[in-house]
Chains A and B, each alone.
Chain A
């Protein structure tokens, strides 16, 4: 009995589904709209390095390339080293926000000749030591490195072995901190948090609970709009003061963030290359888009759309 009932039910279900289905729209009915824009651009392989500021750059460039130039954009989430590696193998066309990386430039631009520079993004990259805003307010003199030793005791943690703790983040970031601590004779120990996530969490908690944290951070960064960290002044940067890595005793230079493309892509005549080359905006622009993504939790596409629609003039300058 039960079996007959089961078979009957199955049959009814199939019948029911088929009938209801007849009312639905068929796949491919609206394909006329979506299949039209292949243009002469073709595919554009864009590396997306893992920080939100970069994601903002990539979102906007990808949005413009897709909507104004009709490119098929493949965004690939990769760390810097692997993305650069992709220039040679043809898997990556462009890196949009490069922080110095003279080592990679030497390897891929000078030696292997698989990559070329494509100019500045207009963003200024600042690297340095930062403290949470409450601390800068309570002890304004902490913003000078000369006074750091006075407070070293307060920065002690379970990890810093009796000295003050200087918290460093993701290992892929450019850092001279260990040499700086030694050469400036600071009573601090560099502790490696190991990821940007860990670093941001440390600052967020420090600001909330009024804790003492000194760490490595950078701008432009979306987190600054949540907790505006204050930079500690180190001996000012002069050209050449960072020549010998072991003897560095000066601040980080201001990085002119630039774009790198594969040599092949530069010669391809693709409109996407022209877009990358002309792409230029300010730290505020990037922070706005990064904030849409990180704080307001918009998708990168939606964030890009919102910014592009509000900044038509800037975008037009890139595509002309």
Chain B
């Protein structure tokens, strides 16, 4: 559930004079403190009034109206021309695309007992393509990774996942690149499309999963479209960003040389932004892989299904094995696309003496790959992966024994941690939010937004608060906000500790980074079962799950920020006799301030994207509402409203933190 929101623009208004600025900052802190004190006082006076609580099974008129709309779509689907001639055609095209890909690598087509290309062919293609677009190192990684799927005993499942991912990313890019270019060229279109993309990325998938199957039926088309909705936005954003970051002088030069709009796009803008666009493809793939387990809920084939099924019988080992395959696939695809984005530059720089042999070598590679494909098409040993996946069962039993050990030995400690954080931090904060009158919380939020982010952020916040009240799930939204903010605080604590450590030592960075990658793509449910044993079905479990998912992003951003502090500055401080602690607290962290605010922004958005997962392990509130709406027809409308509430919270916090980031970054 990657949420990529563009880095806030750090180039803000002109910096005020240093003393004035300091005064302003001190002033702002006092105002914030004042607001909070006023809130506390009013809370004790007005506690429990106008809190807009709604019982779990109760509905509002809006929720019932959503239900009616949903039902009437279902009842009229077979007679409505929109369905007959539009949605059904889209479904057919996408179904055919996915089925074609599956027949190629994962599912036997009619008349053949095995797919068209067997394992040897797929491994060959993976290696060859990785080498052609990247370098030989990532090619080796790809070959090793793909062979690993076979050893795990998950060859077919992995290929199903790959087929679905490739199809979804292909469809996503088909729309995303042109839309991204448009958004890059036109400010107006960019303004229209940005909130839409926010919506697509923060609306929980559970909300539109059931309607999707109504419109596009149960099958590959629905799973692909669900994935596309989630995977296209990062590619659109990054493409637009890439076009925008081409230096204006270059574009102007092309214009003054008499290039037409089309020419300057084709010959200047696109080639110059190619590298960043490839990163968009990368983000799109990662987002698609994050959807693997969710798409399995509407019968998408592949690794997600293995994870979901194993967890019905709490089989952590099997789920972990399949989760590991997803992680390996993500890491391979990530490294290959990253290498692809930097290849030309690296090749130019290195002046490799093999360069002139590249073309003949590529040709030779193609021939070898073709032979491998032929073999895997024709011979059984190259078509079916040999062996019975013993490596997989070893991984599964190792994961099982680690979980058992942790559950037996750590649960006393973990319960203590849970109780302290719940009683000291979460419960008081939650009752402050849920037991205050709604208008009081609303006013506090708007006031904080104005002070921290300015008038524009204040207006956005006011609109969001109004709409939140309109969704009818205000009280649940406040419960979720409390957990979200506590999780964000924990994310930032981890982010600063590990970020600084990694930023200061390249060795630590290299050791920790793969773990962070794994934490981001491992399907949450795999580690949630042991967490449930450690912390029980509580809000705290949900918070921990969110922290595991969101902390890596914050850590990476802060590590990069700390590393970006000029070395000379650090050296100067060292020679002036500063201790390590002083260097960190007085030099590196203050200078990485904009990285810290960006990390807060991203940490918060990532935590919010785990709200629904939290609902599955005891968080209640909005997450539970969304899950319940997905499972019970009568609660569909409420689930949709809760989904909208999550989007509103996301937009509100995003705008406030981004505005605040612009101010501190200035």
Q: Could you list which residues of chain A lie within 8 angstroms of chain B, going by C-beta atoms?
A: 3, 6-7, 10, 13-14, 17-18, 21, 24-31, 34-35, 50-52, 55, 76-82, 85-86, 88-89, 91-92, 103-104, 107, 111-112, 157-159, 167, 170-172, 178, 190-202, 204-205, 209, 222, 245, 293-295, 297
Contact = CB atoms under 8 A, between A and B. Distances in A.
Interface stretch (B140-148, B257-265, B279-287, B303-311): B303-311
A229 B479 CA distance: 32
A205 B377 contact: no
A297 B411 CA distance: 26
A167 B418 CA distance: 18
Contacts of B298: 78, 82
28 contacts: A3-B357, A10-B368, A17-B371, A17-B372, A18-B371, A18-B375, A25-B380, A27-B113, A27-B377, A76-B218, A82-B213, A88-B77, A92-B218, A158-B419, A159-B538, A159-B618, A171-B624, A171-B628, A172-B632, A191-B620, A194-B617, A197-B525, A197-B528, A198-B532, A204-B533, A205-B536, A293-B313, A295-B313
B442 interface: no
Interface of B: 55-57, 71, 74-75, 77-78, 111-114, 118, 209-210, 213-214, 217-219, 296-299, 305, 308-309, 311-315, 318, 354, 357, 361, 364-365, 367-368, 371-372, 375, 377-383, 407, 411, 418-419, 422-423, 427, 525, 528-529, 532-533, 536-540, 615-620, 623-624, 627-628, 630-635
B217 A91 contact: yes
A172 to B, nearest CB: 3
A171 B616 CA distance: 9
Contacts of B312: 50-52, 55, 196-197, 294
Nearest to A111: B75
B112 A158 contact: no
Contact of B635 (A28, A171, A204): A171
Contacts of A195: 616-617, 627
A77 B537 contact: no
B187 to A, nearest CB: 41
A136 B630 CA distance: 35
Contacts of A81: 210, 630-633
A205 B74 contact: no
Given A171-B628, A194-B618, A159 B299 contact: no
Contact of A34 (B113, B315, B528, B632): B113
Contact of A198 (B57, B380, B617, B623): B617
A159 B539 contact: yes
A197 B314 CA distance: 7
B59 to A, nearest CB: 13
A121 B454 CA distance: 64
A7 B213 contact: no
A28 B113 contact: yes
A295 B312 CA distance: 11
A182 to B, nearest CB: 10
Interface of A is mostly: helix
Contacts of A78: 218, 297-299
B400 to A, nearest CB: 10
Contacts of A30: 113
Given A18-B375, A194-B619, A77 B314 contact: no
B618 A191 contact: yes
Contact of A28 (B112, B318, B367, B532): B112
Given A10-B368, A24-B381, A112-B75, A86 B411 contact: no
Contacts of A107: 71, 633
B536 A21 contact: no
B537 A167 contact: yes
Main secondary structure of the interface of B (DSSP, over half): helix
A165 B505 CA distance: 47
Contacts of A112: 74-75
Nearest to A75: B299
B636 to A, nearest CB: 8
Q: Which residue of A17, A34, A204 has the most chain B CB atoms within 10 A of its CB atom?
A: A17
A17 B112 contact: no
Contacts of A192: 56, 618, 620, 624
A4 B412 CA distance: 64
Contacts of B528: 197
- Across the A-B interface, give the 8 residue pairs with the lowest CB-CB distance, nearest first: A172-B631, A294-B313, A171-B628, A193-B537, A201-B532, A198-B537, A24-B379, A158-B422
A55 B315 CA distance: 15
B536 A157 contact: yes
B635 A202 contact: no
Contact of A91 (B218, B318, B617, B630): B218
B219 A91 contact: yes
A197 B529 contact: yes
Given A24-B379, A190-B56, A294-B315, 8 more contacts: A17-B371, A52-B313, A103-B633, A158-B427, A194-B618, A198-B618, A205-B407, A295-B313
B537 A191 contact: yes
A25 B114 CA distance: 13
A104 B633 contact: yes
B57 A178 contact: yes
Contact of B314 (A24, A191, A200): A200
Nearest to A6: B361
A195 B542 CA distance: 13
Contacts of A51: 312
Nearest to B311: A197
A3 B419 CA distance: 65
A119 B74 CA distance: 26
A204 B620 CA distance: 21
A194 B210 contact: no
B371 A197 contact: no
A13 B214 contact: no
Nearest to A215: B537
B354 A157 contact: no
A77 B296 contact: yes
A80 B536 CA distance: 27
A127 to B, nearest CB: 15
B411 A27 contact: no
Nearest to A294: B313
A171 B632 contact: yes
A110 B618 CA distance: 36
Interface centre among B57, B111, B427, by most A CB within 10 Å? B57
Contact of B411 (A50, A77, A171, A205): A205
Given A157-B538, A158-B418, A77 B618 contact: no
Nearest to B525: A197
A297 B631 contact: no
B378 A26 contact: yes
A194 B537 contact: yes
Contacts of A198: 532, 537, 616-618
Contact of A21 (B74, B112, B379, B618): B379
A21 B428 CA distance: 70
Nearest to A193: B537
Contact of A171 (B112, B422, B618, B627): B627
Nearest to B415: A158
B380 A24 contact: yes
B632 A194 contact: no
Contact of B533 (A91, A193, A205, A222): A205
B217 A209 contact: no
Given A17-B375, A34-B113, A209 B411 contact: yes
A86 B371 CA distance: 44
A27 B112 contact: yes
A79 B313 contact: no
Contacts of A35: 111
B368 A194 contact: no
Nearest to B618: A193
Contacts of A82: 209-210, 213, 218, 298
A6 B357 CA distance: 12
Which of A18, A167, A194, A198 has the largest number of chain B CB atoms within 10 A? A194
Nearest to B426: A158
B623 A194 contact: yes
Nearest to B301: A77
A79 B631 contact: yes
